[in-house]
Amino acid sequence: MREKFTDINRLVIKVGTRVLTHETGKLNLHRIESLVREVADLTNSGREVILVSSGAVGAGMGKLGLNEKPKTIPEKQAAAAVGQGLMMHIYEKLFAEYGLVVAQVLLTREDVADRRRYLNARNALFRLLQFGVVPIVNENDTIAIEEIRLGDNDTLSAMVAGLADAGLLIILSDIEGLYTSNPRENSAAQLISEVEEITPEIEILAGGAGTKMGTGGMVTKIQAARIAASFGIPMVITHGKKTGALRRVVAGDPCGTLFLPGEHKPAAKKRWIAFGSNIKGSITVDQGAYEAVIKHGRSLLPIGVVDAQGEFHTGNVISILSPQGDEFARGITNYHLEELIKIKGKNSSDIENILGYKDFDEVIHRDNLAVRV
Residue pair 6/239 in contact by the 8 Å Cβ criterion: no
Who's near 334: CB < 8 A, 6+ residues apart? 314, 359, 360, 362, 363, 364, 365
215 is in an annotated binding site: yes
174 is in an annotated binding site: yes
Count Cβ atoms within 10 A of the Cβ of residue 284 and give its class: 0-12 exposed, 13-18 middle, 19 or more buried.
buried
220 is in an annotated binding site: yes
Of 177, 160, 156, whose CA–CA distance to 248 is shortest?
A: 177
Who's near 242: CB < 8 A, 6+ residues apart? none
284 is in an annotated binding site: no
Report the C-alpha gap between 324 and 285 in whole angstroms.
Answer: 9
71 is in an annotated binding site: no
14 is in an annotated binding site: yes
Rg (CA), the chain: 22
Of 205, 112, 128, whose CA–CA distance to 160 is shortest?
A: 112
36 is in an annotated binding site: no
217 is in an annotated binding site: yes
6 is in an annotated binding site: no
Who's near 35: CB < 8 A, 6+ residues apart? 15, 19, 20, 172, 240, 246
Report the C-alpha gap between 279 and 272 in whole angstroms.
Answer: 12
Binding positions are 14, 54, 141, 153, 173-174, 215-221
Binding positions for ATP are 14, 173-174, 215-221
Binding positions for substrate are 54, 141, 153
